[in-house]
Structure 1
Amino acid sequence: MRTRPYRAAETAAAALLLLLSAACGSRLPESDFERSATPAAQTIRVGVIASATSPVGGAVFTGPRDGAQAYFDRLNARGGIDGRRVEVRLCDDGGSGVGNNTCVHRLLDGDEENNVVALVATTALDYAGADRVSHARVPDIGGQPIGAAYDTWPHLYGIYGSLAPRDGTPGWDGKLYGGTEVYRYFEREHGARTAAVVSYNQSASAAYARLVERGLKAEGYDVVSEQVDFALPDFRAVAADLKARGADLVFDALDIHGNARLCRAMDEVGAKVTAKVTNVQNWTSTVPEDYKDSPGCRNALWATGSSRNFDDTSGTSVAAVREFRDATKGLKTHSQWQLEGWAAAMWFTDAARSCAAADGVTRACVDDFMAHSEGYDADGLLIPVRSERLAEPPRTRRTCLSVARWQDGRGWVTQGDLDRTCFDVPQLAYTP
């Protein structure tokens, strides 16, 4: 079976680190559980919660929303689901727990005519309303795991799946587990043996750096730890040390601004590495602008994830990637998160079509489909998703990943195909 590594941890850490650049739900009546959230009208309503305005900026958490909206727009243009149009109800929670609870209440607790049948592609900086969604038995489909909600509550199905019990406690007794395949990949495929991890002297940054260092050491790397002052970072000194220590890889626990400054410093001192590794949140088409002052480091950027490269539109690409790009050609930028939002909307649509052919598109029917959609891959866009509830955490797993490298003039070029880049790796515990 193929599963994911620290993807949730990477995303959660990225959210916490982005914050550095900026200075309980109630249980619903049982009667609400049994009724359909979609009346006998010609629409099927879904909710999309995104922290579109938040302390970290307006465009940071909107990728999945935009991808899902594009999918539903195309779906409606082609006749919808069983002749019924999908109505997307957007809610911006402002990146706060209070705002998130307000969005959840607005989408779930109105009159029957206006309730949504499911949430899709949730991307919330603070998913404070997750327990309320779960208690209402509303399926949340394909959300981004910014935090531990998708490893805590039933009826929530993150885009990367989960093996945790999801009984109200994160993971297994508060611990989540992830694999080391990213580090194994660079050792096996590129001979990397020395890896640097750069962080701020700030708790969230330092904690994530320690997690990365654990994984690297488990794979036998020589690890170079570099820490800079958050207020007055000396990236040039770090870059000089990376050059002197002969680092093959650079991982970081920095915000986007810090990454750009680190890359510029690496170019200035001539520090060349096999890969400057980033995560799925930064797998975007804005690389030329974000790293405009560091062409050398820019062309050493690599990204790893659990979905097929959004930029791979060559003849070898799956048709689903080409369809995504065609449907989103009007967007100014593209990103891996947009593609994953598109996949989340596809997942809901497949569930709703199954229900429409049976007893109707209800919350209960959609949730039942989700609970049994083992190995879902969104027409090849995703590593097959697992949403089991294991009593004990796995010690080892066969895990797969998607790998791409940035090249000027070509964009993100696929390096490791998610169907074949797989490793048997240990699963290491971490606290979310």
Structure 2
Amino acid sequence: MQLTRSRRAARHAAAARTTVLAASAALLLTVAGCGSRLPESAFGAPPAGSTGRSTDTGANADSVKVGIITSLTSPVGSETFAGPRYGAQAFFRALNAAGGLNGRTVQVVTCDDGGSGIGNQDCVHRLIDREKVFALVAGSVLVYAGAPYVSSKGVPDIGGQPIGTAYEQWPDLYGIYGSSAPRDGRSVGWDGTLYQSTEIYRYFKEKLGARSAAVVSYDQADSARYARQLEEGLRAEGYRVLNQTVDLALPGFQAVAAAMKADGTELLFDAMDTRGNAALCQALDAAGVRLKAKVTNVQNWTATAGADYRDSPGCRSVLWATSSSLNYEDTRYPEVQAFRSAMAEYFPEREGLLSAWELEGWAAARWLTDAMDSCGADLTRRCVEAFMNSGTPYDANGLLLPASFKRAPRPSGPLRACLNAARWEDSAGSGHGGWVTQVPDMTTTCYDVPQLPYRP
């Protein structure tokens, strides 16, 4: 049985939440060579006899208005949450350049919530009450305090990054990784319980023959909580685990490096922000620690890795990332090439800031667009939600592992889970380089793994 994406969503949410909160506590479509615009036939012509009439809030004969909420000026920096916003905007600009959606132009309204709950509620009310958006898309926020209001108004929110647990609780909210939880608004997951799967640990055990791992976290509640999840998953796969905790304000990474060297640690997982990771890697290089892999998550799969780890080339040479989406640098895939071409045309200044999240923002925009396209001229929120709740797996033209929102009973027993993985490779030994895909096909790199319950 194929793993539903709820378990993967929960793990990504925990990883993102840990990275962000720990840092905060510290304070178009095209094929290669064919241009960057989406062909006019990308989504088809309006159905015969279509009137293109106004059918719902935010949609009229000529346009449809969508909103994007981002914690762009959050306490953890302007780039932490920025990616999905730019990826989605690039998709819609390319779509409009190709003639729009069945003749409708997609109007995008953005809002920066400043990384606060109050700011998020203000953005939600502005976009829904004043701007009258048809839907929200590609949200990436630190605190989704406005989620209950979005759901109460029946506004589809599609392809958001699950930083917290809102996408595992509220109807009308559709996170980028899918969900099989009840999402009835009453509790998170199944009566407050979510589940993680262990395919990442299984992959490195089989790929690299690793049998020992270290988990490093801050002495901060969210960081420690995620570290426990990492440790539980590793132990379930038979790893020997070294657990190390450092002071948030004055982390003693030299002691951690010494402990890992003495232990013979092969893999490194962490529950820290980029600042902490970079400092830890410097300590590891200085101590002569040689890992098989330093494993990071999709939130840190960025073009800035070369610069982030410039002072620890040894650690950087074993840097891996895993995800449920294609590598944003892997232009063998036409949809990735379309994303890169559109970003180069509409946001050329972001060439050195591209990320996996940016590609997932593009995928979110495509998901909403395909849902709207399924409605033809009769564009309604009800029709869009019927598309989202159909239970049919969706992969954004191959960008995502198939995801759906088909409700399922509380998980029990092993399920089949798949993943993508990439490794950072320097160019001729320099700090410049990029991410190179390490699996032949993410849809077939799959394992039968256990599901481990936890309470967020």
Task: Report the number of matched residues.
Answer: 413
Q: Confirm or deny that 1:423 pairs with 2:436.
A: no
Unaligned runs of 5+ in 1: 23-34
* Secondary structure of the corresponding residue to residue 365 of structure 2: helix
Q: Which moved more, 1:9-18 or 1:243-252?
A: 9-18
Deviations 1:82-115 (A, max 9, x none): 11110000011111111111111111123xxx41
Contact 1:2 1:383 in 2 (8 A): no
The aligned amino acid for 1:413 is V
Alignment CA distance shift 1:374-1:17 (3 Å): farther
Distance apart, 1:132 and its partner CA: 0.8
Deviations 1:345-383 (A, max 9, x none): 0001111111124x2x22111111111162100010000
Distance apart, 1:394 and its partner CA: 3.9
Contact 1:197 1:224 in 2 (8 A): yes
Distance apart, 1:188 and its partner CA: 1.1
Q: Name the residue aligned to 2:164.
A: 147
Partners of 2:385 and 2:444 in 1: how far apart?
31
Partners of 1:355 and 1:390 in 2: how far apart?
26
Q: Confirm or deny that 1:339 pairs with 2:359.
A: yes
Q: Which moved more, 1:213-222 or 1:365-374?
A: 365-374
Pick the aligned partner of 1:284 from 302, 315, 325.
302
Distance apart, 1:39 and its partner CA: 4.3
Pick the aligned partner of 1:127 from 110, 125, 144.
144
Partners of 1:18 and 1:354 in 2: how far apart?
41
Distance apart, 1:292 and its partner CA: 0.9
Q: Confirm or deny that 1:414 pairs with 2:437.
A: yes
Deviations 1:209-232 (A, max 9, x none): 111000000111000011111122
The aligned amino acid for 2:193 is K
Q: Name the residue aligned to 1:103.
A: 123
Distance apart, 1:54 and its partner CA: 0.8
Partners of 1:429 and 1:412 in 2: how far apart?
32
Q: Name the residue aligned to 1:118.
A: 135
Distance apart, 1:241 and its partner CA: 1.5
Q: Which moved more, 1:250-259 or 1:323-332?
A: 323-332
Distance apart, 1:42 and its partner CA: 1.4
Partners of 1:13 and 1:385 in 2: how far apart?
24
Deviations 1:53-91 (A, max 9, x none): 111111110100010000001001000101111000001
Contact 1:2 1:384 in 2 (8 A): no
Alignment CA distance shift 1:351-1:424 (3 Å): same
Q: Kindly report which structure 2 residues correspond to 1:156-175, keeping only aligned pairs within 5 A, or say none.
A: 156-168=173-185, 169-175=187-193
Distance apart, 1:386 and its partner CA: 2.0
Partners of 1:431 and 1:179 in 2: how far apart?
14
Deviations 1:304-343 (A, max 9, x none): 1100010112xxx221011111111212321000000000
Q: Name the residue aligned to 2:114.
A: 94
Partners of 1:387 and 1:40 in 2: how far apart?
28
Contact 1:248 1:274 in 2 (8 A): yes
* Secondary structure of the corresponding residue to residue 397 of structure 2: coil
Distance apart, 1:301 and its partner CA: 0.6
Distance apart, 1:2 and its partner CA: 3.9
Contact 2:389 2:404 in 1 (8 A): no
Pick the aligned partner of 2:89 from 51, 60, 69.
69
* Secondary structure of the corresponding residue to residue 375 of structure 2: helix
Q: Confirm or deny that 1:236 pairs with 2:254.
A: yes
The aligned amino acid for 2:161 is Q
Contact 2:219 2:246 in 1 (8 A): yes
Q: Confirm or deny that 1:369 pairs with 2:384.
A: no
Q: Name the residue aligned to 1:190.
A: 208
Alignment CA distance shift 1:406-1:3 (3 Å): farther
The alignment yields a C-alpha RMSD, in angstroms, of 1.4
* Secondary structure of the corresponding residue to residue 109 of structure 1: helix
Q: Name the residue aligned to 1:221.
A: 239
Q: Confirm or deny that 1:56 pairs with 2:79.
A: no
Pick the aligned partner of 1:318 from 329, 333, 336.
333
The aligned amino acid for 2:14 is A
Q: Name the residue aligned to 2:272.
A: 254
Q: Name the residue aligned to 2:46.
A: none
Partners of 1:204 and 1:271 in 2: how far apart?
27
The aligned amino acid for 1:335 is S
Partners of 2:436 and 2:252 in 1: how far apart?
32
Deviations 1:9-65 (A, max 9, x none): 22222222221231xxxxxxxxxxxx7113434111000000001111111101000
Contact 1:142 1:157 in 2 (8 A): yes
Deviations 1:128-150 (A, max 9, x none): 01111111111100000001111
Deviations 1:375-407 (A, max 9, x none): 100010000012122232343210111100001
Q: Kindly report which structure 2 residues correspond to 1:256-405, keeping only aligned pairs within 5 A, or say none.
A: 256-313=274-331, 317-329=332-344, 330=348, 331-332=350-351, 333-357=353-377, 359=378, 361-372=379-390, 374-405=392-423
Contact 2:26 2:249 in 1 (8 A): no
The aligned amino acid for 1:419 is T
Distance apart, 1:8 and its partner CA: 2.2
Q: Which moved more, 1:171-180 or 1:11-20?
A: 11-20
Contact 1:306 1:402 in 2 (8 A): yes
Distance apart, 1:294 and its partner CA: 0.6
Q: Name the residue aligned to 2:22.
A: 17
Q: Name the residue aligned to 2:222.
A: 204
Contact 2:26 2:248 in 1 (8 A): no
